[in-house]
Amino acid sequence: MAYRLRVLSAAIIGASGYTGAELLRLLATHPNFDVELATGDSQAGTLIAGLYPSLAAAYRGRCFDEVDIAAAATADVVFLGLPHGASQGIVPQLRAAGAKRIVDLSADFRLKDPGLYPIWYHDEHQAPELLDSFVYGLPEVYREQLLGADLVASPGCYPTAGTLALLPAARAGLIDLGAVIVDAASGVSGAGRPPKPNTTFCTVDEDFTAYGLLDHRHTPEMEMLLGAKVLFTPHLAPMNRGILATCYARPAPGRESELSTESLLRLYREYYADEPFVVVTDGSPSTKATLGSNVAQVTVRYDARTGFVLGICAIDNLTKGASGAAVQCANLICGLAETTGLPVVGVYP
């Protein structure tokens, strides 16, 4: 008897942004998903290959679609690649129209407490009744909850890197969760496709700057994931893609004698042994080593001289930090093998 591949339909609302384009790239070679709708808002009617020539061979002659809630709701999975705030209005419409599964790449449904949105996003949440229905889409933390879920809030790129860098030590009770420091640098694609004065070539080239001092909106995600108080400082690096998170924590009281670089590396390898997209390395992770892949590279050190645990994680902010994670979650909620259609080998040089 011939084996028949299970084909599922996918709709992407917001396919013309960078995360949408990355979804189009990944789904073009996914054996189970067929992109039936790819909306582009202001780009509707524009050739996909005209905006993204790299997608020309996969989407020959195809244009970005107009937003059509009824058509999107018929898909097996709806991906939302929209700016913050937009999904709050669209998700209720999709649910009312009968959407089966939704994976939202924005921050609109990541936080469970609606009171956090005015603090970190400066607006009241428009659909607070739905917050508890969404599962946070970091499989390394919430895999069991994702299996069979129908609403997923795909994680932020910075929280993914910051969390994976410290998660094993935090879960083992080895670090003081009262004060964790996350310094992370991102490529410019993290700011999105629309032009902004601070992301033009002349502004970014040969520059390296910190931003969002003390109040970056990804902070509460990391605090939720690690169960820690986090001081987060993001930086903009003059590169297209990638995030490098360098994270610091003090040992938990009374646990200092248990810590060494060797013991921490052993812990991390054991903790991530069954994770298909996390590699623990003896060397220092680099963004280029993860370019185009859904892999996070992680390492850890203990500095007895200063008394700090140092965790480092590198990811591609558009793949493991956004669209790759969304596809990973879609695989899980659709009953597919988690690794299906996702690259584990980066592009080099």
**Residues counted in the chain:** 349
The per-residue pLDDT for range 274-301, each reduced to its tens digit, is 999 999 999 999 999 999 999 999 999 9
pLDDT beyond 60 at 2 = no
194 pLDDT above the threshold of 80: no
- What is the percentage of the chain residues whose pLDDT exceeds 90? 90
User: What CATH fold (topology level) applies to the domain 8-133?
Assistant: Rossmann fold (3.40.50)
Average pLDDT in the 135-158 region?
96
CATH 3.30.360.10 segments of the chain: 157-317
The 10 Å Cβ neighbour count of residue 71 is 15
Domain limits, CATH 3.40.50.720, in the chain: 8-133
How would you label 107-131 residue by residue, b for 16+ Cβ within 10 Å and e otherwise?
Answer: bbbbbeebebbeebbeeebebeebb
Residues 214-230 have pLDDT tens digits of 999 999 999 999 999 99
Return the higher-pLDDT residue of 197 and 128: 128
Tens digit of pLDDT for each residue in 87-124? 999 999 999 999 999 999 999 999 999 999 999 999 99
pLDDT tens track for 227-260: 999 999 999 999 989 999 999 999 999 999 999 9
157 is catalytic: yes
pLDDT at 201 (0 to 100): 83
Secondary structure (DSSP) of 139-166: HHHHHHHHTT-SEEEPPPHHHHHHHHHH
- Is residue 4 very low, low, confident or very high in pLDDT (cuts 50, 70, 90)? low
Whole-prediction pTM value? 0.95
The residues that bridge with 136 in the sheet, in sequence order, are 153
Q: Where are the beta strands (DSSP E) in the chain?
A: 8-13, 33-39, 77-80, 102-104, 135-136, 151-153, 175-186, 209-210, 230-236, 243-251, 278-280, 296-303, 308-315
Q: Which of 157, 313, 329, 334 is catalytic?
A: 157
Each residue of 63-84: pLDDT tens digit? 999 999 999 999 999 999 999 9
Domain spanning 157-317: CATH superfamily: Dihydrodipicolinate Reductase; domain 2 (3.30.360.10)
Average model confidence (pLDDT) across the chain: 95
Alpha carbon of 185 to those of 149, 198, 243, 314: distances in Å?
Answer: 32, 15, 5, 10
pLDDT in tens, 292-348: 999 999 999 999 999 999 999 999 999 999 999 999 999 999 999 999 999 999 999
Give CA–CA dist 188/23, Å, rounded: 18
Q: How confident is the model at residue 198 (pLDDT cuts 50, 70, 90)?
A: confident
Helix (H, G, I), strand (E, B) or coil at 84: coil
The answer on pLDDT for 1 being more than 60 is no
Mean pLDDT calculated for residue range 160-179: 98
**Contacts of range 124-131, beta carbons closer than 8 Å, 24 or more positions apart:** 125/88, 126/85, 126/88, 126/89, 127/88, 127/89, 127/91, 127/92, 130/91, 130/92, 130/95
